[in-house]
Structure 1
Amino acid sequence: MSSQVAYSPASTPSSRGLWGAVKKQGSKVGARASKLGQQTKMRAELMMMDQKITKRKQRFGVDLYDTLALHARQDPDFIIESPSLEQIRGHFVTAFKDHKALRQKLALQQQGLVELGERREIAFPAVPGEGETTLGGKAKNAGKAANFLREETMYKSKIAAVEADMKHNKKKFGVEVYLLLVHLEDSQKWLSPDRDVRFLYDAARRDVTRLLMEKQQKETDLRALSGKSVI
């Protein structure tokens, strides 16, 4: 009987060449996928950097507004005469008026919540009245309690919404004033003579400048990775 050599397609030169090409192509696909993944990650990081920059400007607005508003409430002439508002008076007056209107809305909702508590105490006295411990009385009380709860939830939701608007008002003020102060410093070498304003602005600009430098470095890295301009 003649001996036979087992035939293995994988061992032929043509199959080895094909397998090598497949592996090479797979390596290229994997490299492209890895590159795309890195680009996606870096673009997400750039978006986060933009958010950090905006939030820092907004925090500047909250801090600056609270500082200036405290003086404005204590001194009737502050808004008109104070050098603290030099160059930013218009922005502060607008924010202050809007904030005052929001505080009035907030006070109304808070008063409504207080009155609701008073009505609840009358409806549910510490010592239950006759008939309130019966099955029918308990069912009636459950209905009243549900109504009070709905009304309380409504007041609290409105209070939260007004408080959010108040915070947004301060943040908007901060972004506007920050951009103005940067423009004045860069174009006219002007800085606020008020120590409190100057301190808050200097701290904010230092932080924003650092964040911008980090963002620029990430943009450079992304261009090097993609070979294209960052859009």
Structure 2
Amino acid sequence: MTNVADAEAAAELSALLLENAYRQHQDNLARVDRAREALVLESVARPAVCPEPTPFLSGVSLAKRAAAPAPDLQIVKTNQNQPDLLEGLARITRVAPMPNSRSAGMLTTASGQSIRWSCVATYTDALAPLFDRVPVVVRGFFTDNKHFALTLIRAASREEWDVEDAGQDDLMRLGQDTVTMAARIRKELMRLHGPICRDCGDTVTKSSAAPYQDGDELLLLCHLCKAIRKEAGSALQAVNV
């Protein structure tokens, strides 16, 4: 079962990378068009490099299903025989520590609706500040059990959500580059110290491992042990205050 979970997590992460790469490719093509238009050059026809990606559906029937009621989440992409891809404003209100390569929790939409969500743990680990009750834009789809499968998260700008804590520079900088850098760090730690959690001794994979800064030392932990360390650190800090 561990191999299955790791394989599914890897597939979800690669689907996320594909979707982000597709979006970046479309943005680059738009830049080319604007540049050619500015120089009064004719537009050029380009062949499609790949079909438009659809979300990875682990254990989800391909039959078309209606999205769960969520007025703040609007359909941004619809495909035949696939769940609708939705996007909207929200805050992640809870992240549950899990002993595998998945993360889950609760989010609250801009209008106050609570929704259960899940995604790959490497994503929540790399973009942890975005999962800490800050204004964000979430994208994903509803599964059979009405859980929201989160495929993308980014900080909300002040223009998108007029709340005091929106548009923070440190949050706006977090994105796919952050996820890629975290993956490189995990890979290097596993190369240097082996695929073992420093705390519990369990074997970890690229999808179940997480780097943790302990003073001057960078440790390789499983996601559950990292969550335990972070909670202990937060409790100690509260006592000291």
Shared fold per TM-score greater than 0.5: no
Which structure has more strand as a fraction of its residues?
Answer: 2
TM-score normalised by length of structure 1: 0.26
* Higher RCO, Cα 8 Å, sep 6+: 1
Give the number of the structure whose alpha-carbon radius of gyration is greater: 1
Which structure has more helix as a fraction of its residues?
Answer: 1
